[in-house]
Amino acid sequence: MTKLPVAVVQAAPVPLDFKGGIDKAVSLARAAVESGAKVVAFGETFLGGYPLWLDEAPGAALWDHPGAKALHRIMLEQAVVANDERLLPLQELADASGAIISIGAHERVRRSLVNNQLTFRPGLPVMDHRKLVPTHGERLIWARGDGSTLGVHQAEWGRIGSLICWEHWMPLARAAMHNLGEDVHIAAWPTVRESHAVASRHYAMEGRCFVLAAGLVQMKDELLDGLERVGGDAAARELLEAIPGEVLNRGGSLIAAPDTRVIAQAGEGEETLFAELDLAEVGEGLTSLDTDGHYARPDVFELRVDTRAKEGVNWLN
């Protein structure tokens, strides 16, 4: 297969309400698959919604803030967990259609939250990628991932992997992923503003791969509605109502080719981008640039990647 039909779903999540978010994701992913897509990409933390109050709500970072604590409790209660049965409809859709579905979620690992970009693969377990470094205010809610979830999936047509948001500005993370030989890369963002678009197109050029840069659309009113869906909380509502403005994430998703050109570009509303990727362009691009091969200097530079899971506590018999 040299021609690969793909889709980027740019949509508003259902904030905080994970069940509602999964129902919406399945509906949108099914529509994309029925239109022929073999890869379907959603943005960062589509399941649960991006925690915009960290950036937008005055006081959200204050110690012991009652609204921030309430929202954190709700996210822990709603977050997906390993082998979560609520995710089965996405796995079943992947199994039935043969499509690969990439979607972001808040995941609970023991008693902490992590940012996970889940990849649903036909006939295989879900592949995790947990964000290595939460960015700035995100460190208030998310723990760090480790090297055990840096990887790619080998599909019949090639290799696909993902990174989340500012991981695209981590040179060594990019180098590790380029070593794995991606043909298609999912760049998951909360919104694809200009700098995010630059990073996505640069990744396509550097990695000689196609990049699906997937962003969200998110409104303040949707945050408030999501809070009510999960039972509401007066302190959390007060925090969210203090957010200025109405449109908080504006989409901007795009699909970039290995030479950086934009194949498809979304606007600011909800829409699904479609494109047919000519995978022959990957090999053609490698003629002039292979950052992991003929453009590398292993005699000068060496990268070691620790792929062991870091549990912190190991119980021995």
Q: For the whole prediction, is pTM greater than 0.95?
A: yes
Distance CA 151, CA 158 (A): 13
Q: What is the pLDDT of residue 109?
A: 96
Q: What is the pLDDT of residue 1?
A: 64
Query: Quick check: 43 and 189 in contact, CB under 8 A?
Result: yes
Measured at the CA of 267, the angle between CA 104 and CA 245, to 5 degrees, comes to 75
Q: What is the pLDDT of residue 248?
A: 86
Torsion angle (degrees, nearest 10) of CA 21, 128, 209, 44:
30
Q: What is the pLDDT of residue 247?
A: 82
To which H or E segment does residue 21 belong? helix 18-34
Torsion angle (degrees, nearest 10) of CA 179, 120, 127, 267:
60
Q: What is the pLDDT of residue 167?
A: 98
Catalytic residues, by residue number, are 44, 131, 165
Q: Which residues on neighbouring strands pair with residue 247, listed in sequence order?
A: 219
Q: At what angle do helices 194-207 and 171-179 cross, to 10 degrees?
A: 40
Distance CA 270, CA 252 (A): 10
Residue count of the chain: 317
Q: What is the pLDDT of residue 311?
A: 87
pLDDT 10s per residue in the chain (317 long)?
A: 689 999 999 999 999 999 999 999 999 999 999 999 999 999 999 999 999 999 999 999 999 999 999 999 999 999 999 999 999 999 999 999 999 999 999 999 999 999 999 999 999 999 999 999 999 999 999 999 999 999 999 999 999 999 999 999 999 999 999 999 999 999 999 999 999 999 999 999 999 999 999 999 999 999 999 999 999 999 999 999 999 988 889 999 999 999 999 999 999 999 999 999 999 999 999 999 999 999 999 999 999 999 999 988 989 98
